Structure 1
Amino acid sequence: MADILCGDDPEPSERFPAGPLYVPVRPGHRGCAARFFRTPLGDRTAVAFTSEDRLRATLGAGQPWIRLAEPALRALSAPLGVTTLTVDPRFSAPAARAQAPASEGRPAAARVAALWIG
């Protein structure tokens, strides 16, 4: 059986620590909380970047961050059921828009549809 060459494999068969990463956070009352995102299929994932420039290019200059090693980020996210770590994602969806107040006169069915579609 041939050995898998991890250098040629787009997804290496063995995980290895990525080193210190730039992890997006949300400031809170008791410090910072790591931000978790969703994959295109809807699964939760921890997200980290290998440079501050990559984080800013994807999430914007105003995004707060902390430095964490990959094993520390995995240990932080595992109790929450988040087992996937995405490093250096290239795309992100725009921030969610606030829904219009119900008093705008739209029928109830249209308001419910807007929650699912938009």
Structure 2
Amino acid sequence: MPATYDVLVPGSSLAFEGGFFGISSICLVEAGGKRALFDCGHGTTRGLLLNALSRRGLNPADIDLLIFSHAHFDHVLNMDLFPDVPILMSRDEADYIKAPIEDDPATPRYL
């Protein structure tokens, strides 16, 4: 059975003088009877994520895996909704979050 995906929360970007602020998309991936979230979003999208899951008859306990594209705050901050769910990310990213560069404002130090 092929994997399917559904965009639960579309990403967005706000440009302003001197930079931009982006929010990642959150996608539900289903395959083999399992459900994964590809990225889980920022705190500002928490309600959107929970509502999107609810509209599909799901709640955080129905998620089997979190897949992180990378560990910037807009991709990972809702991970606390899934305390017992395994996380999959690249080895390079996992190594980086152990010691991010000093002036990296996008990677939370507590990860």
* More relative contact order, 1 or 2 (CA 8 Å, 6+ apart): 1
**Greater Rg by CA:** 1
Query: Shared fold by TM > 0.5?
Result: no
Specify which structure has the higher proportion of strand.
Answer: 2
TM range (shorter): under 0.3
Q: TM-score, normalising length from structure 1?
A: 0.24
